[in-house]
Each structure stands twice: as structure tokens, then as C-alpha cells.
Amino acid sequence: MSDTIAILPGDGIGPEVTRAAVRVLTQVRPDLTCEQAVVGGAALRAGMPALSGQARVLCDRSAGILFGSVGLPEFDGKPLAERPEYALFLLRRDYELYANVRPVRVFPGLEDASSLKAELVRGLDLVVVRELTGGIYYGQPKEQRVVDGIEEAVDTMLYRAPEIERIARVAFELARTRRKRVTSVDKQNILETSRLWRRVVERVAREYPDVALDHLLVDNAAMQLVRRPADFDVIVTENMFGDILSDEAAILTGSIGTLPSASLGTKRTASGQFGLYEPISGSAPDIAGQGIANPTAAILSAAMLLRHSLNDDANAQRIERAVERAYALGARTAELASETPPLGTDAFAATVLANLR
Ligand code: IPM
Ligand code: MG
């Protein structure tokens, strides 16, 4: 029986970059059944919830989710449950996708696109492992209210030791396949959750004596990332710090449009680990519909889907190599173009397709 992949293009540039990724995915794996459902602002506009029932049913019977992006300015100011982002919020929570893996690499030849000096980002190869189902995103109470006639709002940052333990393990296991270094990021000088975080990470570290562990406070980590980015190997951190630091890490590469991500949890299917795969970049409504968005992140997200959810490392690598070749040959989308005329989304995808071996 062929595997079903849930395609959730979402908003902004989501549909165009996802279409490009599906072209590449179905080229290497024509046996897959790719089925699409509407989520995010697109669903809200159609009078459905951000995560429509149709999307849920599709995800339930899929091996993995290829997600575009959600978020549109017209929903600014709405409560979370009426915002496009709620789709992602629910998918992460309901499938317990607690481990968000965000690899950050600079493609050779793109060093000059970075806002940092090229020599600082040359050889940059790090992974942010972000806890995705806990912390301030999900803790209760979480509300706006009026107390004694004064408006106030509260978000709650809560962590339980097992949540920290399992994400720490993901980081240490991953480090073992790489340069064997984990940097844990917290704010233990101020936050109780961070003190627990640090204690638990140290406890887990004892099971991994071959992996070097160090700790950074989040403000310092933000600074070190632009000062000596190539020194990092695996960064593990809680949900919101990871959200912020992964955008910072991503732009070191010159374009946030090149970075994929995988969100993994406990659910397994006959074919592998169930997961959600999406570009780190947002919906970029300012350039949506123009056909100029960089599809690299979406294409590489499809490669991660093959690797983790379909146990198909061979085809994941084929796609990754094809993207590398495209860059090596000078293929550039508008935000990266220097000398060469920029390629549109579809033309870039066509170059990747032409470089599949
Ligand atoms: C991300 C995004 C999301 C987040 C938004 C869209 C809810 O910024 O995946 O990094 O904050 O987690
Ligand atoms: Mg983010």
C-alpha cells in the first residue's frame, strides 16, 4: 500500500514553495499519494477553523505532513484560536511533536550572502533542537483579563522534568552522529524553569560521556551566534528561546528561505516516525503570489520527511545533493541573486529536478 503524505500549503508563499517541493518529492517517489488540505488563514477565510476537520482526518492517516506556512496580517489582533497560527499550534500539541530539529548550513558559494563576514560563516553547520510542545506556548493560565478595572495578560512558562529529559536525549543522540557537542541554552539566572532545565540536561548528559556539554544563557547565546557561529554543533533549548534563536541562526546563512525543519514526536507509522516538515521561514505575505519565493526550505523539508517518516535516506540525500548542485551551478532566487539574473520559484525547482542523480 502506498504511503499518504498530507500536504498543507497554508498561507502566503506556502502554496508556491510547497508546490515546488511536491514536484521534487513525487519525482523521486512517484509511489507516494500526496493529498492536500486547507489550513491557516486560507481555512479561516473559507469559514473553517484554522485546522479544519478535513485536514485533521488527512493527517491522521498520513505517514507525515509537508507543511507550507501560516500567518496573514489580516488576522493580527485576533485571539489565538482565530488566528492562522493556531493550526500549527494544534498539530504540534495533538500529535505531541515535541522535538523540532532545525539544521542550519551555509551552502558553499553563499557565504557572501550572509549579513556576517564570509569568514565567520564559512563551514557553519549547526542544528537547533527546539522543545516544541511545552513552555510558555502551552502553559496555563494563558489569557487576557480585566482585574480591578485594569487590563492584564498572563502566559505561563511551565516545564516538567520528563519533557526536558526527552528533548535532551534527542539533542545528545543527534550530537553523537555529528561533532559530539551540545550547547544547552537557558536563563537560569532568572527563571525557575531554566534551573530545572539545566539540572535535568546535566542528568541526561551523564548517559552520554562521549558528548561534550556546555551551557549558555539565552542572551549570551544570541550574541555568540553572531560572534562565532561556526563553533556550534547542537543547540538544545526550550520552546520560545528556540523560536527566537532559530530565526537568528537561520539568517546567518544569508536567506531564511533555505532552512528546513522537522517536528518529531512519539507517534510511529509502519513506514517510520510520524512528523511535520516545514520551512523555518514564515508566510512572507509581502512577496506571496509573485512566484519569486525561494523553495529551498520546502524542498529540503521534503527530504527530511523522506529521511524520518519514510526511512528513505537514499532519496533524502539525492534531493539534498541536487539542491547543493543547483547552488554550485549559480542558481539563485531573488533574495540571493547577485550577478546572475534571479530564478523564480518554479525555475529554481526545475533546476533542482534537473540535477537529481
Ligand atoms: C516557527 C513559527 C511559529 C512559532 C509560529 C508561526 C506560530 O515562528 O515555527 O518558528 O512561533 O513556533
Ligand atoms: Mg519562529
Does some domain include residue 60? yes
pLDDT in tens, 220-275: 999 999 999 999 999 999 999 999 999 999 889 888 899 999 999 999 999 999 99
Substitution site in 69, 91, 243 for ligand 1 pocket (most atoms within 8 Å of beta carbon): 243
Query: 213 alpha carbon to ligand 2 midpoint, in Å?
Result: 25
Instruction: Quote the cell numbers at residue 179.
Output: 561533532
pLDDT of residue 338: 73
Q: Residue 292's domain is classified under what CATH number?
A: 3.40.718.10
90, 51 contact by CB (below 8 A): yes
Atom of ligand 1 nearest to the CA of 100: 9
Does some domain include residue 161? yes
Domain end point (choices 212, 231, 251):
251
Does some domain include residue 67? yes
Asked if 134 and 245 sit in the same domain, the reply is yes
Atom of ligand 1 nearest to the CA of 247: 10
pLDDT of residue 337: 80
| 41 within ligand 1 shell (Cβ under 6 A) | no
pLDDT of residue 179: 98
pLDDT of residue 109: 84
Query: 70 alpha carbon to ligand 1 midpoint, in Å?
Result: 9
Asked if 21 and 3 sit in the same domain, the reply is yes
266: domain range? 1-101+260-357
| 238 within ligand 1 shell (Cβ under 6 A) | no
Query: 281 alpha carbon to ligand 2 midpoint, in Å?
Result: 7
pLDDT of residue 318: 98
What is the enclosing helix (H) or strand (E) of 119?
A: helix 118-121
Asked if 149 and 96 sit in the same domain, the reply is no
Atom of ligand 1 nearest to the CA of 71: 6
Atom of ligand 1 nearest to the CA of 132: 12
Q: Give the C-alpha separation, 312 to 303, whole Å.
A: 9
Does some domain include residue 106? no
Does some domain include residue 110? no
Catalytic residue set: 137, 187, 219, 243, 247
In one-letter notation, the amino acid at residue 334 is: A
97, 133 contact by CB (below 8 A): yes
Asked if 136 and 72 sit in the same domain, the reply is no
Asked if 96 and 164 sit in the same domain, the reply is no
Does some domain include residue 111? no
Asked if 188 and 300 sit in the same domain, the reply is no
Instruction: Quote the cell numbers at residue 351.
Output: 533546476
Please name which of 135, 186, 132 lies closest in space to residue 160, comparing C-alpha atoms.
135
CB atoms within 10 A of CB 6: 24
Taking CA atoms only, the protein residue closest to ligand 1 atom 10 is 243
| 85 within ligand 1 shell (Cβ under 6 A) | yes
Taking CA atoms only, the protein residue closest to ligand 1 atom 7 is 85
Does some domain include residue 116? no
**Beta 150-156 vs 234-237: how paired, if at all?**
unpaired
| 131 within ligand 1 shell (Cβ under 6 A) | no
| 11 within ligand 1 shell (Cβ under 6 A) | no
Taking CA atoms only, the protein residue closest to ligand 1 atom 11 is 243
Asked if 145 and 205 sit in the same domain, the reply is yes
| 3 within ligand 1 shell (Cβ under 6 A) | no
Does some domain include residue 264? yes
Asked if 169 and 273 sit in the same domain, the reply is no
Domain count, the chain: 2
Phi, psi angles (nearest 5°) of residue 107: -70, 135
The parts of the chain modelled with pLDDT lower than 70 are: none
pLDDT of residue 112: 87
Asked if 231 and 269 sit in the same domain, the reply is no
| pTM as predicted | 0.95
Query: 354 alpha carbon to ligand 1 midpoint, in Å?
Result: 32
> What is the length of the chain?
357
